[in-house]
Amino acid sequence: MDSAPLIDPFARPISYLRVSVTDRCDFRCTYCMAEHMQFLPKKELLSLEELDRLCSAFIGLGVKKLRITGGEPLVRRDIMTFFRSVSRHLDSGQLEELTLTSNGSQLARFAPELAAIGIRRINVSLDTLDPAKFAAITRWGRLDQVLEGLKAAKAAGLQVKINTVALKGFNEDELFDLVRWCGEEGFDLTFIEVMPMGEMGEEERLDQYWPLSQLRARLAERFTLVDLAHRTGGPARYVSVGGTGQKIGFITPLSHNFCESCNRVRITCTGELYMCLGQEDRADLRAPLRASAQDADLVQAIREAISRKPKGHDFDYSRQKVEGQMPRHMSHTGG
């Protein structure tokens, strides 16, 4: 079977795959999903075995980094069976990194086993350290449960990166508290601009949007920030905080997009391949996956999809208008 690496039309190698294993979550974060979500019927979801086969096909085509997302990936029943199985690619050396993005709610239960199978670092989404604000933004979440999960992750030896969505009027006043807390805990910290995804009003999106250029300028009032060449395979650009050695990342899909170096694609829990988070074009991989036990048609479908990967997204908040908004919720694509 043809195993030549995946290269998109703009000569970008595709080495990073993000896979959603469920659309379900035990939180309802306001920028990610509706409070009363209509979840998919089980028959539409890829089985854990199908997810393994799909990931393995991409790894055979040169993917070196695999990130598991959701929803909340750790709420899927028997998910550790999948992690244990796909970790064989770490043992073989074909896969350089297996990791996940979590809301932290289930880490107290799963962190030791995640570390034992070869996961070295995880991303945890956390937008505030205030219990009342946390309950408001997640609708259903409890901050103490997440903090216990983070404690368990540290104890298991996992490197933790906190992902914080920058939300104007919500966590602006916690900027330095978040930086200090992450420094004390030994966590890296990455700020993310809120993206126009999901059916929210234009006014609400504009009210939330806090450009990271402004956030960084605020940080620079107190700290010396030194640009780093450090990369983790994703879109973040990093700085070191002078005097502390702390690392802070910035993911800026709006104020300064990172499309020119995009090396990733995303698969939903139903087997849809999105070549760009900010575009609607997608490819159905579930059909060829289920049509044959052989991978030839699946690989052909993957290659055809990558041949359509666009140069970039169309997100734009300029001129006080939201452009390029995606009607699907963030939880559908897996972030």
- At 334 the pLDDT is 63
Q: Which residues contact 184 (CB under 8 A, 6 or more apart)?
A: none
Residue 279 backbone dihedrals phi, psi, to 5 degrees? -130, 155
Q: What percent of the chain has pLDDT over 70?
A: 86
- At 162 the pLDDT is 98
- Name the binding residues for S-adenosyl-L-methionine: 31, 71, 125, 195
Look at residue 183 and tell me whether its pLDDT is greater than 70.
yes
- At 320 the pLDDT is 45
State pLDDT tens for residues 214-270. Answer: 999 999 999 999 999 877 667 789 999 987 889 999 998 665 556 777 899 999 999
Q: Looking at the domain assignment, is residue 263 inside a domain?
A: yes
State pLDDT tens for residues 102-123. Answer: 999 999 999 999 999 999 999 9
Q: Looking at the domain assignment, is residue 152 inside a domain?
A: yes
Look at residue 171 and tell me whether its pLDDT is greater than 90.
yes
Least confident piece of the model among 48-62, 70-84, 137-151, 258-272: 258-272
- Name the binding residues for [4Fe-4S] cluster: 25, 29, 32, 259, 262, 276
Look at residue 298 and tell me whether its pLDDT is greater than 60.
yes
Look at residue 150 and tell me whether its pLDDT is greater than 90.
yes
Please give the residue range of the domain that contains residue 145: 19-333
Cβ distance 219 to 164 under 8 Å? no
- Name the binding residues: 18, 25, 29, 31-32, 67, 71, 101, 125, 161, 195, 259, 262, 264-266, 276
- Convert 248-280 to b/e letters by CB count within 10 Å (16 or more is b): bbbbbbbbebbbeebbbbbbbbebbbbbbbbbe
Total structural domains within the chain: 1
As a whole number of angstroms, the distance between CA 177 and CA 18 comes to 30
Q: Looking at the domain assignment, is residue 82 inside a domain?
A: yes
Q: Find the CATH number of the domain harbouring 98.
A: 3.20.20.70
The more confident residue out of 77 and 200 is 77
Look at residue 321 and tell me whether its pLDDT is greater than 50.
no
Q: Looking at the domain assignment, is residue 321 inside a domain?
A: yes
pLDDT band at 199 (very low <50, low <70, confident <90, very high): low
pLDDT band at 278 (very low <50, low <70, confident <90, very high): confident
As a whole number of angstroms, the distance between CA 129 and CA 328 comes to 28
Q: Looking at the domain assignment, is residue 143 inside a domain?
A: yes
The more confident residue out of 313 and 97 is 97
- At 196 the pLDDT is 59
Structure tokens at 97: 């990194």
Question: How far is residue 221 from each of residues 66, 216, 324, measured CA to CA in Å?
Answer: 37, 9, 33
Question: pTM to 2 decimals?
Answer: 0.87
Q: Looking at the domain assignment, is residue 2 inside a domain?
A: no
Q: Looking at the domain assignment, is residue 302 inside a domain?
A: yes
pLDDT band at 205 (very low <50, low <70, confident <90, very high): low
Q: Which amino acid is at 193?
A: E
Name the 3-class secondary structure at 261.
helix
Arithmetic mean of pLDDT, 11-25? 95
- At 316 the pLDDT is 45
Q: Name the residue among 252, 313, 241, 234 with its Cα closest to residue 277.
A: 313
Arithmetic mean of pLDDT, 30-52? 87
Q: Looking at the domain assignment, is residue 1 inside a domain?
A: no
Least confident piece of the model among 36-40, 158-162, 217-221, 282-286: 36-40
- At 83 the pLDDT is 98
Taking residue 283's Cβ as centre, other Cβ atoms within 10 Å add up to: 20
The more confident residue out of 157 and 316 is 157
- At 233 the pLDDT is 64
- State the burial class of residue 50 (Cβ atoms within 10 Å of its Cβ: 0-12, 13-18, 19+): middle
- At 269 the pLDDT is 95
- Name the binding residues for GTP: 18, 67, 101, 161, 264-266
Structure tokens at 225: 């920030």
